[in-house]
């Protein structure tokens, strides 16, 4: 039976992209991106059991998003997304596929320079109009031109050899910041995968977030910031076009967060099923029973409470 998880991940990220292009509310945009992330990692969503109330039980999914999920399963489309697509010319939407151009930059090009196609983009890049915009510059413009000429599309996976030096630089930065207790690169990187999508880095302790950001952006000046707050920093590093998500995790949640953000998806689904069968709730914040915190400081602690053997990350397939 078809699983809709990947569809929802793609569609809600597209909704967020198009809302960004239109300059809509950042809270709404973040809600769609968070829902997309949660749904991608959720247990398989099929027609066998679905509904607004059922979907609202998924963390990060409210009634508005749940209704869109039901609509898509019933009709194969999301009307709100179709309306957004009609508001923005397809050539403008297609610019999102060009490396170095996220929604905020495409919006700046569209609104400030009236760029509606690759042809317009090349013309304005060559005559100097683009580099005069805030957050662009000659170096970035050249990267954009090179990508267009070479017919590149945004990368979905990165060779491990390309990512390792970046991961090391980022972990070294945090190890030198006062207040940091632990820093670990999670995700498929921790599982030893040969290719990596994004870099998920977990940090525990009480570091100064602004200090961390300043140090990171000095080492990686060619970047675009996606999110900045007390619990998370997210940005894209160029020219690799690598997204990095850095999450600041409380000590009590460290082990649970490591399990959650290391994956794999199937491994996480298995653990949540075991937790449910034993009357627990397991998420990235910890293991709970009837709302009471039970475990979460270490991965082994969570596994022991669930009666599961601890698995090396590279064996969590």
| Residue range 159-189, pLDDT digits in tens | 999 999 999 999 999 999 999 999 999 999 9
Of 49, 242, 52, the closest CA to residue 164 belongs to: 242
Contacts of 187 (CB under 8 A, 6+ apart): 196, 197, 198, 199, 200, 261, 262, 263
The rounded average pLDDT for each run of 10 residues, N- to C-terminus, in the chain (317 residues) is 86 94 90 90 84 90 95 95 92 87 91 89 91 89 81 72 95 93 95 91 90 89 76 82 90 96 91 94 93 95 96 91
> Which two tokens mark 14?
């597209």
**Strand pairing class (199-205; 242-249):** parallel
Longest CA pairwise span in the chain (Å): 65
- Gap between the terminal Cα atoms of the chain: 21
pLDDT at 154: 61
pLDDT at 102: 87
pLDDT at 41: 80
Contacts of 297 (CB under 8 A, 6+ apart): 251, 252, 253, 254, 255
Q: What letters, b where the CB count within 10 A reaches 16 and e where it falls short, cover 199-211?
A: bbbbbbbebebee
Distance between CA atoms of residues 136 and 81, nearest Å = 29
C-alpha torsion sign, points 228, 258, 261, 218: positive
pLDDT at 298: 97
Contacts of 222 (CB under 8 A, 6+ apart): 139, 140, 143, 237, 238, 239
Q: Where are the alpha helices (DSSP H) in 220-264?
A: 254-262
Domains of the chain (ranges; CATH) run 5-87 (1.10.150.110), 90-150 (1.10.150.20), 158-249 (3.30.460.10), 252-315 (3.30.210.10)
pLDDT at 64: 95
Of 257, 233, 238, 253, the closest CA to residue 184 belongs to: 257
> Would you tell me how many other CB atoms lie within 10 Å of the CB of residue 55?
23
> Which two tokens mark 259?
């399990």
pLDDT at 156: 66
């Amino acid at each position: 039976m078809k699983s809709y998880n990947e569809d929802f991940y793609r569609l809600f990220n597209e909704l967020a992209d198009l809302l960004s292009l239109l300059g809509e509310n950042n809270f709404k945009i973040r809600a769609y991106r968070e829902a997309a992330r949660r749904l991608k990692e959720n247990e398989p969503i099929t027609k066998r059991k679905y509904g607004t109330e059922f979907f609202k039980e998924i963390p990060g999914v409210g009634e508005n998003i749940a209704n869109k999920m039901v609509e898509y399963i019933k009709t194969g489309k999301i009307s709100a997304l179709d309306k957004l697509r009609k508001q923005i010319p397809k050539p403008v939407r297609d610019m999102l596929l060009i490396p170095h151009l996220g929604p905020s930059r495409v919006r700046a090009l569209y609104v400030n320079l009236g760029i509606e196609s690759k042809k317009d983009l090349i013309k304005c890049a060559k005559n100097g109009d683009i580099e005069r915009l805030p957050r662009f510059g000659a170096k970035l413009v050249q990267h954009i031109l090179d990508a267009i000429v070479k017919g590149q599309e945004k990368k979905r996976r990165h060779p491990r050899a390309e990512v390792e030096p970046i991961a090391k630089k980022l972990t070294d930065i945090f190890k030198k910041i006062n207040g940091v207790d632990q820093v670990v690169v999670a995700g498929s990187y921790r599982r030893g995968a040969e290719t990596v999508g994004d870099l998920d880095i977990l940090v525990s302790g009480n570091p100064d977030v602004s200090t961390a950001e300043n140090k990171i952006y000095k080492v990686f000046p060619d970047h675009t910031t996606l999110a900045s707050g007390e619990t998370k920093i997210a940005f894209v590093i160029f020219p690799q076009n690598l997204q990095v998500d850095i999450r600041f995790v409380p000590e009590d949640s460290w082990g649970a967060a490591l399990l959650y953000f290391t994956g794999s998806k199937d491994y996480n689904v298995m653990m949540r099923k075991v937790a449910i069968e034993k009357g627990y709730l397991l998420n990235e914040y910890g293991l709970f029973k009837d709302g009471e915190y039970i475990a979460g400081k270490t991965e082994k602690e969570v596994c022991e409470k669930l009666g599961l053997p601890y698995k090396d990350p590279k064996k969590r397939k």
